[in-house]
Amino acid sequence: MGIRTGIIKTIYPDTTIPGLAVVPMESFEVKGNTALLEVKIAGGGCGSLTFTAEKSIDREATYAKVIDRNSPWSMTVTEVNAPGLYIFELQGLKMFPVDFMRLSYQAEIQAGDVEVKVFNYQETGGASVHSSIGDVIADMGDIDANTAASAASLAIIAANLPSLSMFVQECEDATDFAAVGDAGNLADDTEHVTGTVSVEWDKPNRTDVVSGVDDTIPAVDLSAFSPSDYITACFFLPGVTNVVKVYLQVGTDNANYTQWDWVVADLVTGWNFVKARLTDYAALAGTGMQQGVVTYVQAAFEYDVAAIAKNDMKVDHIAFVTAEVINDPSTAAAVALLTTIDADTSALAAAAAVAAGLDTDPQTGTGAIAYTTSFAADLELVSIMLHLDIAGTTAEDFEIDLDSLAGATYDANLLTLDLSDDSLVDVVLTPEDDALPKYLVAGDELKFTWPNTEGRTWTLRIVVKGV
């Protein structure tokens, strides 16, 4: 499967349901075999909705009579009996030789308003980008690309990157935000993943299970993003104890928003890059997010008890990213993607580097090293570099282990090195000079650990290139 391309089109505007008869909607071009229908219900709902289809060979032709409801062109949905935003998949659009089609709907009851949009996409190309900026522009669809195809696809993505990604709140100024729940001591923090700072706060008062920040922002138009696209952010967790989840709310205000959750089982201590499809929301309040006019964001932690204090929670960026750009990246990979979104020149420079076949995966911190790579493609390992600001004096081993896709039988310890020996501050490893594998298949992972009980500042870089 290649890249999904298409546009969102409103085929029925926000209108009170006129009655219980069949209501035709505007036609749309049939690009692929599948369409996503976004149905927004307001008011009292409509019971069930039955969609049927008329067909024609071109926009001007006379539409045929409604196809029999037992055909693949008909679909009844019952989930729309309450106000909300609903996404449905209509399949089999290419089973007939049509270029344009028109859907009709029929409501079971007349008790509200309905709006219908369609995202009718097509798969473009059989190969997408296999290399990535820090593994983020990786796997744009299900890919099996050669180097030339990867470079060509990457050039297209790089040229269009500003339109494929958009910051909603860059988290560059803590004074933009207000406290939510049990939150205080809002401040800028130089530990960040994009831009120059992140926004930090504490949970000081032990009065609420929720601790977060929110902001009323200038209106942002996100209507270009489809239901299959993603919302993303970076959260810093000082620890996972007592954490239930982190969440984002995006909407008009704190009474009208859509919320996305990430539970503690999917989080780790430190920076977490989180992402969710727009359709995978956890809650919807009021009218939900109106993509054409977004004016409110909230980022928060939820704990299992109120009577605890926490310090140094952070958020850095809230962004929308198209499905063509993102697919399961790691936190480190997300940092690279966000940098490209932040500056077009950086995006193009990074894209050129990837097209040339070189990709770095930078990590940094002051705590223990406990990092596992996330390689979505077959790669050649070029080098591993570790730098410390000050040499350690405590005898502690820096270890690199291979977690093989083939199973535990093929796992191996690649390096065990006491960094206090010879007061090491720089370690550079290559497959040619050290016992490192030269090639890694998709699914092989490298695990890096070091206790760092003395709190040295470290930077770890893993350099790979596509094969």
Is-contact 317 215, C-beta < 8 A?
A: no
Q: Output phi, psi for 420, to 5 deg.
A: -75, -20
pLDDT at residue 94 in the model: 52
Residue at 12: amino acid letter: Y
Angle (CA) 216 219 220, round 5°? 115
How high is the pLDDT of residue 99? 62
CB 247 within 8 A of CB 262: yes
pLDDT 10s digits, 290-307: 988 999 999 999 999 999
What residues of the chain score a pLDDT lower than 70? 1-8, 30-34, 45, 54-74, 79, 89-100, 119-165, 323-361, 433-434, 467
Torsion over CA: 8, 14, 20, 25 (sign): negative
Structural domains for the chain: 3-124 (2.60.120.1570), 167-321 (2.60.120.260), 357-466 (2.60.120.340)
How many Å apart are CA 237 and CA 128, to the nearest integer?
34
Whether residue 38 contacts residue 117, with contact meaning beta carbons closer than 8 Å, is answered with yes
Determine contact, residues 67/53, Cβ cutoff 8 Å. yes
What integer pLDDT is reported at residue 360 of this predicted model?
57
Cα 236-241-244 angle, rounded to 5 deg:
80
**pLDDT value at position 408?**
87
User: CB–CB of 293/262 below 8 Å?
Assistant: no
Task: Please give the pLDDT value at position 65.
Answer: 34
CA distance 164 to 91: 26
Give the rounded distance of the alpha carbon of 320 from its chain centre: 8
Angstrom distance (rounded) from CA 467 to CA 464: 10
Are residues 77 and 86 in contact, defined by beta-carbon separation less than 8 angstroms? yes
Q: How far apart are CA 379 and CA 384, in angstroms?
A: 14
d(CA 394, CA 419): 8
- Mention every residue, 6+ apart, whose C-beta is less than 8 A from residue 450: 368, 369, 396, 397, 398, 399, 419, 458
pTM passes above 0.85:
no
Whole-number pLDDT of residue 245: 96
